[in-house]
Amino acid sequence: MRGAYFPLLCILALSCFVPMIYDRTISFSTSLMTGIVMFSTYFISYFIIVYLLGGFYPELVKTEGATARFNDFILYNLIFLVILSILRNLLPSDFTPVRLLMVYLPWMAYRGTDHLFVKKEKVPKFVVISSALLLGLPIALSALLGLLVI
């Protein structure tokens, strides 16, 4: 799973050039900057989410095996979001069902609690916090870094 994240980020950055085919008003420099912003958004998000979620739940990163499962959980969810972003870039219009698939992420976080061995009483709080971080941080970073695009 770790080996798939970086190539998917590169595909995401390259997919930012596809809208130039559908919209002639988008320049090469705008597509290039958008690709850099999208790549940076998900690249930075991974490290921030690992740090923050590991801080909220230190019991999930106590052993090397637990840390590997924890990192895989975060990567799995971020890969899902990256694939959705690639699909949004490939489609000629803003296809709402693709955006609605982001609602599936809390369910994926809930199902991942078995993999991480989260205690039953902590599952609802873990799902809310992990979903908020996994959905909110890339959106916030994208908006912040998007201010750099001309």
- 78-97 pLDDT, tens per residue? 999 999 999 999 988 777 78
Please tell me the predicted confidence (pLDDT) of residue 62: 87
Confidence of residue 15 (pLDDT cuts 50, 70, 90): very high
Residue 49 has pLDDT above 70, yes or no: yes
51, two tokens: 């740090």
Average pLDDT over residues 65-86: 93
Q: What is the mean pLDDT of the chain?
A: 90
Region of 149 on the Ramachandran plot (φ > 0 left; ψ -120 to 50 alpha; else beta):
beta
